[in-house]
């Protein structure tokens, strides 16, 4: 909070007496200073990960911020040889991809009803969603474990160690997280649009699929991306759920790499795995950055 106070002293009034350079410093220069400090703070752990991934020794104790002992891609090769990283990567992409797509779709459906229709129990429904969302779902993990123990007995195809069971579980949280946000998006769309479509004879489904969904599509993509990142990072449920090596997700598998005695020795391949995991999200992030800014606040402001 101290830096903004530095701004006013200059302004338009005092500036005339001072030299140009001084004015640049107080009006623009401090902004660059803050931004550079922020970037340094943002980057140094990431640079460290990069350096560890390229470190030929591959241990934590030998890793410096700048790789001094040479550069090698051996850690990446070792990652694929020694662990089931390819499996984990595909599992994570499958689970996170399907889960985020399906949960966005489910909450878009619900948000449409909450935004455009009036019915008994609407208020109660909205409030209960808010409340249920606040209950930390994984504290119910004992109950979930018991439920899925039964499910595994009956239908092994959707039980433990399968991506489908975990997907179903993630679907349970779909409504709570995104419905409110999306209701905000739908509320920002002018009602005249769907009114006129209805007057022209469009059914409620046509209004939803042909008019509303295309209009919020960019925002949906952003929400989907956030859901995707959230699912990739989900650790606890997946850790209970997936125990066999080939069924693990990235979070569970990579957590195992740093357990026990291997912690120091495995750091290089862990860092390599971290970088590979980050590539898809970082890329999509940079593409969607613009929409993220407008998307999140559109929901928040009008929410």
Question: Between residue 36 and residue 75, which ones bind another protein under the rule CB under 8 A?
Answer: 38-39, 41-46, 48-49, 60-61, 63-65
- For another protein, what does the binding mask look like between residues 110 and 129, x meaning CB under 8 A? x-xx--xxxxxxxxxxx-x-
CB neighbours (10 Å) of residue 175?
A: 20
Distance (Å, whole) CA 298 – CA 192? 19
Contacts to another protein from residues 81-100, by CB under 8 A: none
Q: Which of 26, 53, 15 is nearest to 254 (CA)?
A: 53
**Range 146-175, binding another protein (CB under 8 A):** 146-147, 153-155, 168-169, 171-175
Stretch that binds another protein, among 68-76, 78-86, 213-221, 284-292 (CB under 8 A): 284-292
**81, 134, 260, 261: which one binds another protein (CB under 8 A):** 134
265 binds another protein (CB under 8 A): no
The piece of 68-76, 77-85, 134-142, 211-219 that touches another protein (CB under 8 A) is: 134-142
Angle at 117 (CA atoms; ends 114, 119), nearest 5 degrees: 90
Closest CA relative to residue 230, chosen from 103, 144, 139: 103
Q: Is residue 245 a contact point for another protein (CB under 8 A)?
A: no
| Contact of 228 with 97, CB cutoff 8 Å | yes
Query: ∠ CA(106), CA(110), CA(112), 5° rounding?
Result: 115
Nearest residue (CB) to another protein, 80 versus 235: 235
- Does 261 bind another protein (CB under 8 A)? Our answer is no
Closest of 130, 138, 78 to residue 276, by C-alpha: 78
The binder of another protein chosen from 82, 203, 214, 217 (CB under 8 A) = 203
- Given a contact cutoff of 8 angstroms between Cβ atoms, the answer to whether 40 and 58 are in contact is no
Q: Which of 25, 94, 229, 265 binds another protein (CB under 8 A)?
A: 229
> What would you report as the CA-atom Rg of the chain, rounded to the nearest whole angstrom?
25
Query: Residue 74 Cβ, how far from another protein at the closest point, in Å?
Result: 20
What's the closest the beta carbon of residue 155 comes to another protein, in angstroms?
6
Question: Distance (Å, rounded) from C-alpha 33 to C-alpha 20?
Answer: 18
16 lines the binding site for another protein (CB under 8 A) = no
């Amino acid at each position: 909070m101290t830096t903004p106070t530095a701004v006013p002293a200059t302004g338009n009034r005092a500036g005339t007496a001072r030299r140009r350079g001084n004015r640049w410093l107080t009006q623009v220069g401090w902004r660059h200073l803050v931004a550079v400090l922020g970037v340094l703070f943002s980057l140094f752990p990431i640079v460290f990960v990069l350096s560890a991934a390229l470190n030929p020794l591959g241990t934590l104790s030998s890793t410096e911020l700048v790789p001094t002992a040479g550069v090698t891609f051996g850690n990446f090769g070792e990652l694929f040889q020694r662990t089931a990283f390819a499996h984990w990567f595909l599992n994570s992409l499958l689970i996170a991809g399907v889960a985020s797509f399906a949960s966005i779709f489910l909450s878009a459906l619900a948000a449409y009803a909450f935004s455009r229709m009036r019915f008994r129990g609407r208020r109660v429904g909205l409030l209960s969603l808010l409340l249920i969302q606040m209950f930390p779902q994984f504290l119910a993990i004992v109950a979930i474990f018991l439920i899925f123990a039964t499910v595994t007995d009956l239908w092994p195809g959707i039980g433990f160690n399968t991506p489908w069971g975990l997907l179903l579980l993630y679907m349970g949280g779909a409504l709570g997280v995104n419905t409110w946000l999306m209701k905000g998006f739908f509320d920002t769309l002018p009602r005249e649009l769907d009114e006129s479509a209805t007057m022209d004879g469009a059914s409620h489904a046509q209004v939803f699929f042909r008019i509303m969904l295309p209009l919020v599509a960019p925002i949906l993509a952003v929400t989907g991306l956030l859901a995707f990142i959230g699912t990739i990072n989900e650790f606890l449920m997946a850790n209970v759920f997936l125990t066999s090596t080939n069924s693990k997700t990235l979070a569970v598998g990579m957590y195992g790499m740093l357990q026990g005695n291997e912690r120091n020795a495995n750091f290089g391949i862990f860092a390599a795995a971290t970088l590979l995991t980050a590539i898809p999200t970082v890329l999509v992030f940079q593409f969607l950055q613009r929409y993220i800014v407008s998307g999140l606040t559109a929901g928040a402001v009008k929410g």
